């Protein structure tokens, strides 16, 4: 069955380190999204991509970057992790309507 997977599921890192969260989908969807979820804020869009080599900034993109070298993967990189980036991160993919979400990655920056 097609699916969307995130890895790792849990990560603890130190302030200032570079961290990459992986997102892989097997539906061949063009649209992929990264969100963070924080108490009181719901889901907020970080970056999104509508296809290979296409990336766009979302609402809370500062401190994050993404790259899209193939259809299946949209890795999210924290260039220099900060405590404010402690959150739960969700990846989603969409064929254009509807969406499928990964299970989430809980990131703690200490």
Partner 1 sequence: KNEVEQSPQNLTAQEGEFITINCSYSVGISALHWLQQHPGGGIVSLFMLSSGKKKHGRLIATINIQEKHSSLHITASHPRDSAVYICAVTGNQFYFGTGTSLTVIP
Q: Which residues form the interface with partner 1 (CB under 8 A)?
A: 33, 35, 40-45, 48, 58, 88, 90, 92, 94, 97-101, 103-104, 106
Residue 53 or 97 with smaller CB distance to partner 1: 97
* Nearer to partner 1 among residue 37 and residue 65 (C-beta): 37
Shortest Cβ 101–partner 1 spacing (Å): 4
| 85 versus 105: smaller Cβ distance to partner 1 | 105
3-class SS at 62?
Answer: coil
SS3 category, 33:
strand
Q: Which residues contact 32 (CB under 8 A, 6 or more apart)?
A: 23, 25, 48, 49, 68, 74, 91, 92, 93, 94
């Amino acid at each position: 069955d097609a699916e969307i997977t995130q890895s790792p599921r849990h990560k603890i890192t130190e302030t200032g380190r570079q961290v990459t969260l992986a997102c892989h989908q097997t539906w061949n969807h063009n649209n992929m999204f990264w969100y963070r979820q924080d108490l009181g804020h719901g889901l907020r869009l970080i970056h999104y991509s509508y296809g290979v080599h296409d990336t766009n900034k979302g609402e809370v993109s500062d401190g994050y970057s993404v790259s899209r070298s193939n259809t299946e993967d949209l890795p999210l990189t924290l260039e220099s992790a900060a405590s404010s980036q402690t959150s739960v991160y969700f990846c989603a993919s969409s064929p254009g309507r509807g969406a499928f979400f990964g299970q989430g990655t809980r990131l703690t920056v200490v």
